[in-house]
Structure 1
Amino acid sequence: MKKVKLIGLLGILAAGALALSACGSSSKTADDGGKSKKNNFRTLDEIKKSGAINIGVFSDKHPFGYVDENGEYQGYDIYFGNKLGEDLGVKINYVSTEAANRVEYLETGKVDLILANFTVTPERAEAVDFALPYMNVGLGVISSESNKVDSLDNWNASDEMIVISGTTAEPFMIKNYPNIKLQKYDTYANAKNALLNGSGKAWVNDNTEVLAFAKSNPGYVVGIDDLGVKDTIAPAVTKGNTTLLDWVNSEIETLGKENFFHKDYEATLTDTYGAEYADTLVIEGGKTK
């Protein structure tokens, strides 16, 4: 009888040890700050309480998000981000991101909000929650003026097209021009250098980006300024972060009544595109035409 009780006691002790072991494993996961957990986010109240919001932006995409000679973030998205922080009443921590990292940075809680020239697509909308749009965008193709590309229908099989991984240009080219070999880069800076160095025949990207590049780099021309469907640019939050999403949407609607985004364009984009493109590119209050 005593043997039976002893065996039973040993079983209970073993089960307890397993339970403690399991708890220890769970605590280790929690100690990593939730980075291994998908869709880790801070609510609007948590952001306010912390006194700071983390916003993912580009640091090398002039004139939308870039770092100037003084080490300060500037550009169209930054102008907007500064206003969000001001109206929210918190400090802004800008976090440099690349195109391919935007979704990951939201899912892991590295940033609360993405303002990195983020084009809205159905695929991305399954991974993040987009707020109301604030800009129109399409795709364009830039090439050397001496070897201008104004059509993709007769592409030479030996030539390569430059794209940036994680942008809408990549899946568009794969789907619609599978015969064109792609030369992929992770950053805008590397893609620009590849074009300047002649590594690729042309570069397909947001039409706003290639138009800006052509204006600031003599000898290059946008032979195709409207490739594919028209899209919109919008802020994005982590999937399920409804409190922050609702606040951003309300803010965009309010700012639209003040013609804020046209003011943003005038301050940050006029030198690049000219005043004539303002009504074409800008969306006020989230209302597309």
Structure 2
Amino acid sequence: MRRKVFKKLLFTVLVFALVIACLTGCDAKEGDGGAAASVDLLDKILEKGKMTVGVNPPGEPICFYDDAGNLIGYDIDWANKLGEILGVEIEFVEVNGDNRISAVTSGRVDLIFANITGNLERAKSIDFSIPYLRTGIKMGTRVGLDEIETVEDLNDPKYTVAIVSGTTGEDLVLKYAPNCKISYVTSYPDQCLALQEGKADAIFEDGTSIDFTAGKADYLVAKEKVYTSDPICVGYAKGNPELGRYLDMFVSSMITSGWQAEEYFKWFGSEYTGTLNTLW
């Protein structure tokens, strides 16, 4: 008799515990829901009707100010096009090579069109879209420095390289010319100014920018070697798969429609000869 009573009591307790567990689980799902209920950044942008975009001026023709003080350039047109298609207002925030990633991770900006190379190291901190431009680092030297053809030729204390911190160009110089003198500046125009004033012997930047400047200026010589194949991507915070998918669709659409090629010719004055793959 006692054994039957004990079994009934035990069964009742187990059923009660199971019911409580189910109710607790349901409450958790209907409450904050953890990661499953988190709102994707795309939804937040659409809800507030505004997108904050980090850009990296001055760097003609990628991103710079016109005579009226307006931001213009290849990156600016891409950001404005995205805002137009989303139907949201664009607010530009200036970033640089040092703080453009932290601007994303801290939430200071929603995303960046900041001439940033998507690579494995940076992908530990933020996510990237598929590339909307592909370029490579090239060297520019002052006129008359004919003995310098490669970065290794600069590996001597008698040579000074003007470089921007936190860039692929900096990584290249530190690796292959560690004995040269490095003069850190804040932007590509400052690199060019250092060459022009004789304060630097060489600079490193995207080949698109080096070739563009060499075609206009008489103080810079663009060297032929291209050191990297760099995918220039949109950067955004991790944990936003819907935004990432939308950005990939957006970039793919701009490439297949021919808009990207038109924009490149508009700003660089030449046909785009690189290869950009699409996902959609």
Coarse TM-score class (shorter-chain normalised)? 0.7 to 0.9
Aligned residues: 240
Identify the residue that residue 236 of structure 1 maps to in structure 2: 235
Runs of 4 or more consecutive aligned structure 1 residues displaced over 6 Å after TM superposition: none
Return the index of the structure with the highest Cα Rg: 2
Gap regions ≥5 residues in structure 1? 1-40
Q: Is the 8 A contact 1:260 1:284 kept in 2?
A: no
Q: Once the two structures are aligned, what percentage of the paired residues are identical?
A: 28
Letter in 2 for 1:239: K
The 2-side partners of 1:223 and 1:256 are apart by 29
The 2-side partners of 1:110 and 1:194 are apart by 31
Question: What TM-score results when the alignment is normalised by the length of structure 2?
Answer: 0.80
Structure 1 residues 245-286: Cα deviation after superposition (integer angstroms, max 9, x where no partner): 12111111222221221121122221xxx23xx123x62636
Q: Is the 8 A contact 1:132 1:252 kept in 2?
A: yes
Q: Is the 8 A contact 2:40 2:239 kept in 1?
A: no
Over aligned residue pairs, what C-alpha RMSD do you find?
1.9
Superposition pairs for residues 207-218 of structure 1, below 5 Å? 207-218=207-218
Letter in 1 for 2:235: A
Q: Is the 8 A contact 1:134 1:284 kept in 2?
A: no
Identify the residue that residue 174 of structure 1 maps to in structure 2: 174
Identify the residue that residue 253 of structure 1 maps to in structure 2: 252
Moved more, 206-215 or 180-189: 180-189
Following TM superposition, by how much is the alpha carbon of 1:42 offset from its aligned partner in structure 2, in angstroms? 6.8
Identify the residue that residue 34 of structure 2 maps to in structure 1: none
Identify the residue that residue 18 of structure 1 maps to in structure 2: none
Q: Is the 8 A contact 2:51 2:110 kept in 1?
A: yes
The 1-side partners of 2:153 and 2:73 are apart by 37
Identify the residue that residue 53 of structure 2 maps to in structure 1: 55
Identify the residue that residue 89 of structure 2 maps to in structure 1: 91
Superposition pairs for residues 261-276 of structure 1, below 5 Å? 261-270=260-269, 274-275=270-271
Letter in 2 for 1:45: D
Identify the residue that residue 273 of structure 2 maps to in structure 1: 279
Following TM superposition, by how much is the alpha carbon of 1:189 offset from its aligned partner in structure 2, in angstroms? 2.9
Identify the residue that residue 128 of structure 1 maps to in structure 2: 126
Q: Is the 8 A contact 1:56 1:114 kept in 2?
A: yes
